[in-house]
Structure 1
Amino acid sequence: MRLTSQRLAGLLLGSALVAGVLGAGTIASATGPGGGVPPAVAAPAHPAGHNMAASTRASGDDADGDGYIPAVPQVTGVVPSTATPPPAYHHEFQAGCSVTHTAPDGPIVYPGQFGKSHDHTFMGNTTTDAASTTGSLYGGNTTCKAPADASAYWMPSLYKGDQKILPVGPQVIYYKAGVTDYRSVRPFPKGLRFVVGNPMQSAEEFRSHKGFVEGWECGDSFFNTDFPASCPDRPDVQLNLRMQAPSCWDGKYLDTPNHQSHMAYPVVKPGTNDNMCPTSHPVALPMIEFKMAWPVNGDMSQVRLASGRGHSFHYDFFNAWEERTLKAMVDHCIVGGLQCDTRGFDLYRPERGTVLNAEHRLP
């Protein structure tokens, strides 16, 4: 493929990201449709990192291996909204997705390269591995409450010593409006994927990251860039983290060589406190927010991530929602200015109804 100036810029940006140490972890057996959590396994002696440099392999959805996956069709002619919408305190819904399996695979950063990543904890689609593509994920089995959400969500596995600690039960993954004009948000395009954060980021970079919300927290300890030294040793205390993804899309690519430059965080509209998409990334999409909880407390001195210290936390998203269901949820909950649960129901606005039936399916 011809190397345009835009592609060259992306390749250089991708190469500029510091490469992590390559290596393999220990694969835990993937689950079947039931999505049960596998037993904990020993961590690799030297946790591997990501190499987020430009792709050089033709694999999966990237037929020519240049790292660019064009959207078909591309979204053009969009102007970021500067309008002030009717007041709405919330504009969101939840996707409750449980852990499926763990593996040293990274379908976005290392497509087709089994065992090359540090260990990841996967949620949602039960088949996610290094060879996952839009086609293999779409319509697949999932541990998300809505069967239409076959998307893949993953993050570095967490350990206490050599014991792998897995989140228990459905994890809260918010879909929110990241821009002030929540009415301008549209669904994710099929096959969109991106990485939030960087495993090689410093504590200062993690704290100043635009997606940083509350950092690591437990008990009365908040805004930590690394794991707290200790957490209250009580059954009701877990280690928590919240981190938000960029929500503005360039409308052109489903992925780029550094797995980030096709997405951007909203910017502040001059002279206001309103958030809007930048002109370079004019398409407003849902803002994903991970709200994760790990059942670990007490002495935290041996707690670490497969990617390293606590400030190395990052996560990946690969969209495989069934289009009609995602659009219905986005339109009703985000565009509609509601605070929805996983079915699209707002407890405080029951008169607005719900989107999905008791089985979390679109009627």
Structure 2
Amino acid sequence: MARRSKLVSGLLISGALVLSTLGVGGIALSAGATEAPASQSSASTSSHQGHTMAMPASTRASADDPDGDGYIPANPPVTGVEPSTKEPPHAYFHEFQAHCSVTHTKPDDPIVYPGQPGKSHDHTFMGNTTTDANSTTASLDSGGTKCLAPGDKSGYWMPTMLNGDKPVLPVGDQTIYYKAGVTDYTSVRPFPKGLRFVVGSPMQTAEEFRNHPGFVEGWECGTSYFNVNFPTDCPTTQDTQVNIRFQAPSCWDGKYLDTPDHKSHMAYPVVKNGTNDNVCPADHPVALPMIEFKMAFPVNGDLSKLRLSSGPSYSWHYDFFNAWDDRTLKAMVDHCVVGGLQCDPRGYDQNHPEAGAVLDANYELP
């Protein structure tokens, strides 16, 4: 898919969701647990165009955040970077895919509720096999992975989808794109180890979900696209599934691996005045890969009982915690994103076989 040019507006968040305590196939959903409870007094707030968004602050000490203030400094920070306004030779694609499968479900969130097992709504975890409330950069780094590339030990998670009281878990490899979100794809650099952030919010309204800068085509099924609510026209045919694609911010402040609201250290690109070019804003000048979740849920037909553990369809959001092997990620970013290729999980572009692959048949650096 080609990168979209889109004028970015701020993320708007309001309201709160309350869930009942349910027993779902061994999955415990915490009563009233969301990732941003309205009653939490330690919320960090910021405003955009007169609207206010509140996210819970991480105020519990951990190995990554010893003082528990929610700020995890980058070591070393990236300084002296200006947002690139260059226009490199046109490349229709500048991306690679990570293929990762579901590992487990838990009512945990090591980004929003570090060290507090059971406090979150239920999440479906992909990639790293050890992700839980106590996960740190070091623990993920030493864990296993169900991504095709053994070098990708990152944690990826999202609210669990439920059909009535039955979990609907994606089957097999799910596609996570790593793309250039800026016009100057040659300026994109790898994620720093330990970077983490939340995309979207469980408290967003339907309108905020639809207008979110990460919104691509909403909930899809069959020929039904751009849905804020789960589609009602979802044919009961073999291989028909409910899908969603959602993009993450890709501009980093260069200072923090996380902040109390788990968002403000990241930003979406903005459109440069008078052009269709996407550039990073001045206060978030470092261009990183743009992650795009492309998830497929094996459910069709009557979707009237479909919901998320975080609430309605428009409470969709996801988390990313980077634990890639540094050398592997840099090789993939340099070859595929900076190189202007459309790569599979081995870093191979079938339209440019002369460029070769980054990884060997075992998805490892040779």
Of 47, 59, 62, which aligns to 1:59? 62
Separation in 1, partners of 2:58, 2:270: 29
2:72 maps to 69
Cα distance 1:20–1:261, how it changes in 2: closer, same or farther (>3 A)? farther
- CA displacement, residues 146-202 of structure 1 (integer Å, 9 cap, x when unaligned): 000000000000010111010000000000000000000000000000000010000
Cα distance 1:229–1:78, how it changes in 2: closer, same or farther (>3 A)? same
1:143 maps to 146
1:34 maps to none
2:35 maps to 50
The question of whether the paired residues in 1 share the 8 Å contact of 2:107 and 2:119 is answered with yes
Cα distance 1:117–1:342, how it changes in 2: closer, same or farther (>3 A)? same
1:33 maps to none
Separation in 1, partners of 2:144, 2:321: 15
The question of whether the paired residues in 2 share the 8 Å contact of 1:110 and 1:117 is answered with yes
Separation in 2, partners of 1:60, 1:307: 28
Residue 221, structure 1, aligned to residue 238, structure 2: no
Separation in 1, partners of 2:181, 2:28: 36
Separation in 2, partners of 1:313, 1:298: 21
1:185-334 paired onto structure 2 within 5 Å: 185-334=188-337
The question of whether the paired residues in 2 share the 8 Å contact of 1:139 and 1:320 is answered with no
Alignment partner of 2:284: what SS?
coil
The question of whether the paired residues in 1 share the 8 Å contact of 2:127 and 2:155 is answered with yes
CA-CA distance at 1:22 after TM superposition: 7.9
1:84 is matched by which residue type in structure 2? Answer: E
CA-CA distance at 1:55 after TM superposition: 2.1
Alignment partner of 2:202: what SS?
coil
Alignment partner of 1:137: what SS?
helix
Cα distance 1:25–1:154, how it changes in 2: closer, same or farther (>3 A)? farther
Cα distance 1:306–1:351, how it changes in 2: closer, same or farther (>3 A)? same
Cα distance 1:320–1:362, how it changes in 2: closer, same or farther (>3 A)? same
Separation in 1, partners of 2:285, 2:27: 44
2:209 is matched by which residue type in structure 1? Answer: F
The question of whether the paired residues in 1 share the 8 Å contact of 2:19 and 2:30 is answered with no
Cα distance 1:254–1:18, how it changes in 2: closer, same or farther (>3 A)? farther
Query: For structure 1, which segment, 51-60 or 297-306, has the greater mean C-alpha deviation from structure 2 after superposition?
Result: 51-60
1:345 maps to 348
Alignment partner of 2:342: what SS?
coil
Cα distance 1:197–1:324, how it changes in 2: closer, same or farther (>3 A)? same
Alignment partner of 1:299: what SS?
coil
CA-CA distance at 1:140 after TM superposition: 2.0
1:208 is matched by which residue type in structure 2? Answer: N
Alignment partner of 2:244: what SS?
strand
Alignment partner of 2:343: what SS?
coil
Alignment partner of 2:96: what SS?
strand
1:101 maps to 104
- CA displacement, residues 288-322 of structure 1 (integer Å, 9 cap, x when unaligned): 00000000000000000000000000000000000
Cα distance 1:189–1:23, how it changes in 2: closer, same or farther (>3 A)? farther
Q: TM-score by structure 2 length?
A: 0.89
Q: CA RMSD in A?
A: 1.9
Identity level (%): 71
1:10 maps to none
Of 158, 161, 174, which aligns to 2:161? 158
Cα distance 1:306–1:47, how it changes in 2: closer, same or farther (>3 A)? farther
Residue 134, structure 1, aligned to residue 119, structure 2: no
Tell me, which stretches of 5 or more residues in structure 1 are unaligned?
1-15, 28-39
1:362 is matched by which residue type in structure 2? Answer: L
Query: For structure 1, which segment, 222-231 or 314-323, has the greater mean C-alpha deviation from structure 2 after superposition?
Result: 222-231
Cα distance 1:41–1:297, how it changes in 2: closer, same or farther (>3 A)? farther
CA-CA distance at 1:54 after TM superposition: 1.6
Alignment partner of 1:183: what SS?
helix
Aligned residues: 338
- CA displacement, residues 276-297 of structure 1 (integer Å, 9 cap, x when unaligned): 0000000000000000000000
The question of whether the paired residues in 1 share the 8 Å contact of 2:218 and 2:245 is answered with yes
